[in-house]
Structure 1
Amino acid sequence: MKSIAILTSGGDAPGMNAAIRAATRSALDQGMAVFGVRQGYQGLIEDQIRQLNARDVGGIIHMGGTFLGSARSKEFREESGRSKALRNLARHGIDGLVVIGGNGSQTGAYMLSKLGFPVVGVASTIDNDLFGTNVTIGSDTAVNVTLEAIDHLRTTGSSHNRAFLVETMGRDCGYLAMMAGLAGGAEVISTPEFEVPASEIADRLRAAYERGKTHAIVVIAEGVKDNSERILSFFEKDKRMVGFELRATVLGHVVRGAPPTAFDRFLATRLGVGAIAALSKGQSGVLVGYESGDVIATPLAEVAGRTKPIDTDLVELARILAK
């Protein structure tokens, strides 16, 4: 393999830049030419492809987001769009592609792989719901950003005898809410997979108040039906129903934009290098992930269209620890 291209796709995740850096420099070390694709699969279609050298990826390891940019592409879902992408790759003499992203991104990688083009995916999503890896690039940082907010709110909550609703990202997956809620000692954790209705949240907060707690934390994922806005509206009917004064904080995209933690930088570096190692050995059509300290490869056919569920034991653990 003489030349490869790298793209980032879907939602950005802290550590993507570290993965780009690692893949670029690893490929250059093996004598490959490296191309960066701007704006994900849409950039492949529009030929936003330029060559990268070692200096182009300098000074980015500590930065959140992706300097290549990311975008969702409806056109790539069509056969005509994928054909344009393949023609542009051929025009630049590119022999292989590294796709850094989550579920939708790896489904796109699988589509190209089925057409015979060598593709290797790199597991990167803050939701950590990608099948074929224990942990994904960006999830550790996102959990820690959420946890930091919980810790700050707990402090002010104790001062004013308040309960705080903390809404974090997670449209379809509650990994961030579950992990940050457990680590932050939340009284209630509500996720799309295991939703706690507003009435039950009220009951749990009232019970916490009656046990003598001076504050309470409720962590919810954005994808739940009873989100922070609906819960506040429910509680407005009777402000005395929980004992605590109730406030809400919606974190939103702030969890994506933080500088990656040391772990996410390390993980991204390992996976970026692993992707190039796979391509150089003629291995493609796989997702490079991380399991038990090792870089592993899982066929994209087993990854595309699948998600990794939250461990149900965590739900029971959260209930026990909220006493």
Structure 2
Amino acid sequence: MSEIAIEAAGLRRTYRSRIGWFRPQRREVEAVRGVDLTVGNGELFGLLGPNGAGKTTTIKLLNTLLIPTAGTARICGYDVVRQTREVRRRIGYVFGGDRGLYDRLSARDNLRYFAELYGVPGREQKRRIAELLELVRLDGREHERVEGYSRGMRQRLHIARGLLHRPRVLFLDEPSIGVDPVAARELRQTVADLAAAGTTVLLTTHYMAEADELCDRIAVIAGGLIQALGTPAELRHHADGRRVLEVEAYGVNDARLSAIHTLPGVRQAGLEVVGAAQVLTVQSDAGIDVQADVLRELAGVRLGRVTARQPTLEDAYVAIVNRVEQRSAAEAVPV
């Protein structure tokens, strides 16, 4: 058996579209611009990136749902274009959201239906379904209609569906999106159990804490290219030499945020809405304390908690993505 579960070299995907009717113009968009990737057997690998970065396109290229414009990809040694059937026998695909299940059927009946589609032999179905219901912690609820399931229960059933045919590689495309914290914790435990049992898992997620907790290695994709690759600890080095200031505020506008961006020592500044409050996160050079200057710019704004802390994986991710965006903006400026 090959030690490599997933391998991609120079993987590209270009979308072609036509704009307008009277004088139509053809446009090409490179969603994936040359991805090189290697994932070992039994590895839990994370693929992170902003919306439109090429994450889902990369997943679909690897699991045979899209054909590459250029480059090659192999799953368990089989080419995704020339040996599609062999690849599909060895992969499972789970995506976030509510689609893909039959609400008026029970969990058990859903799994029986998909077991038939996946070609699971009849004599194995009962045992396999029981194993999976126990794995995803739905045993005892398997006779209930799926329409009464919570979002987290549905996602765990999605995972069970993707594992029916014992795939060697499982693609999880944002499985915890929209799931409450308790259900998300159960999902993470299920995913960790899968990897511990030897299944290769490729996970995309927007939740940095989830990636930090689960993944052996992480790739950050932005602009259709892999921009950073390593263990969570290695990726944190991208935020080395920085301090992080978090300010809970109520009413920070774009003008104040722009002013904070220009303060001496500030590398990045961003706003996130959390409930009724905003959380302002400012990354600065390690040798410069920007707290007094930031608070001065926020004069007149109602403030809550102010915290200085060490950089996290999320801070490193933001640093990587912002660096790519700044480079792209500079290249786009006409000379």
Greater Rg over alpha carbons, structure: 2
Do they fold alike, i.e. is TM over 0.5? no
Q: Relative to total residues, which structure has the larger strand share, 1 or 2?
A: 2
Q: TM-score, normalised by structure 1?
A: 0.27
Q: TM-score, normalised by structure 2?
A: 0.26
Structure with the larger RCO, 1 or 2 (CA within 8 Å, 6+ apart): 1
